[in-house]
Amino acid sequence: MMIKNKKGRTAIQTVKIGTIAIEKTACLAPMASVADRAYREICKESGAAYLVSEMISAKGLTYGDKKTRVLCEIAAEERPMALQLFGEDPDCVGRAAAMLGEFQPDAIDLNMGCPVPKITGQGSGSALMKNPALAEKIARAAVLHAACPVTVKIRAGWDEQQKNAVEFAKMLEQCGVSAVAVHGRTKTQMYSGRADWEIIRAVKQAVRIPVIGNGDVGTAQDCAAMYAQTGCDLVMIGRGSYGRPWVFSQVREFLQSGRILPEPDYKERLAGMLRHAERICLYNGESKGIREARKHAMWYIKGMPGAAAFRNRAATLNSLDELRQMAEEILCAANRRGRE
């Protein structure tokens, strides 16, 4: 039941994953090479209710890899946040889950949905949906050794002939998993076509644990529609946040008041792009950071005047000053078009 206050705004409900209370607005999906600390913080500041880290290799962690340990670090501003593990060996995943206790994650998420060949070729990610027996051993090992709730992210299935998300989710619930996130595409779809929201609804009806819906949510209206059509407990946004972290504030406002916040104007978008790039460089150093910022810059300027040419420049940026200069030129081009 929705409760409205005197100003007619709907109170934000919460969903519990284990002992964690999460606002029922929208959370940020785990995205390798995208959802780093800078990206997560920007989205959190924009209203993301919950964050999940980039994929962390269970083998890398147990073998003492320094780069893997960096991925496990959580800033206070990011909470509540989960650390996402991937791996195909139950013993290794169990040991890694125990080791993550050092970083005090609010939850540990197991990746059983990544469709990238480099991951599935190892028998991990969405390849586990073809091997429920192994997936069960991995889930039980993580639940046994973790000092926090364990969640699992899955897909609709391997392909159209093997859409087993419902049976898979029921198995995970029996393992003691605290929540399951479902991306409505199969592994073979990768990120093409449409996400099947019906499979998310079917999973929600089949299990008692919270279900997080993911796939084809790019606007506040999409988010509300997913809640309505699937009955899911929380909505997860991934690619819909590319260059648009403010989508999380739009979701919150729409769910509270029904009001659709306008898209930021070009000046605001470019200012957001620069803040994001500066933070990336703060955490990684300018030389490495600006290379990482290139793809984000291309997402931020999508649809702006002269975007095609500016995207080509963004792909070769070598400094923050170059990015600032490009932002000025884009704004000038937009102002000229506005006067025409």
Identify the CA nearest to 110 among candidates 121, 130, 118, 89. 89
Among candidate residues 257, 286, 319, the one where a domain is terminated: 257
Are 177 and 99 within one domain?
A: yes
Q: For the whole model, what pTM was predicted? A: 0.95
Per the domain annotation, does 301 fall within a domain?
Answer: yes
For residue 239, what is the domain's CATH number? 3.20.20.70
In this predicted model, what pLDDT tens digit does every residue of 122-148 receive, in sequence order? Answer: 999 999 999 999 999 999 999 999 999
Identify the CA nearest to 55 among candidates 103, 138, 114. 114
Are 190 and 226 within one domain?
A: yes
Distance CA 147, CA 145 (A): 7
Are 88 and 222 within one domain?
A: yes
Are 248 and 297 within one domain?
A: no
Domain span including residue 148: 14-257
**Which residues participate in catalysis according to the annotation?**
114
Mean pLDDT of the 237-252 span: 98
In this predicted model, what pLDDT tens digit does every residue of 157-187 receive, in sequence order? Answer: 999 999 999 999 999 999 999 999 999 999 9
**Number of domains observed in the structure of the chain:** 2
Among candidate residues 257, 279, 295, the one where a domain is terminated: 257
| 3-state SS track over the chain | CCCECCCCCECCCEEEECCEEEECCEEECCCCCCCCHHHHHHHHHCCCCCEEEEEEEHHHHHCCCHHHHHCCCCCHHHCCEEEEEECCCHHHHHHHHHHHHHHCCCEEEEEECCCCHHHHCCCCHHHHHHCHHHHHHHHHHHHHHCCCCEEEEEEEECCCCCCCHHHHHHHHHHCCCCEEEEEEEECCCCCCCCCCHHHHHHHHHHCCCCEEEECCCCCHHHHHHHHHHHCCCEEEECHHHCCCCCHHHHHHHHHHHCCCCCCCCHHHHHHHHHHHHHHHHHHHCHHHHHHHHHHHHHHHCCCCCCHHHHHHHHCCCCCHHHHHHHHHHHHHHHHHHHHC
Among candidate residues 257, 280, 315, the one where a domain is terminated: 257
For residue 291, what is the domain's CATH number? 1.10.1200
In this predicted model, what pLDDT tens digit does every residue of 66-113 receive, in sequence order? Answer: 999 999 999 999 999 999 999 999 999 999 999 999 999 999 999 999
Are 72 and 152 within one domain?
A: yes
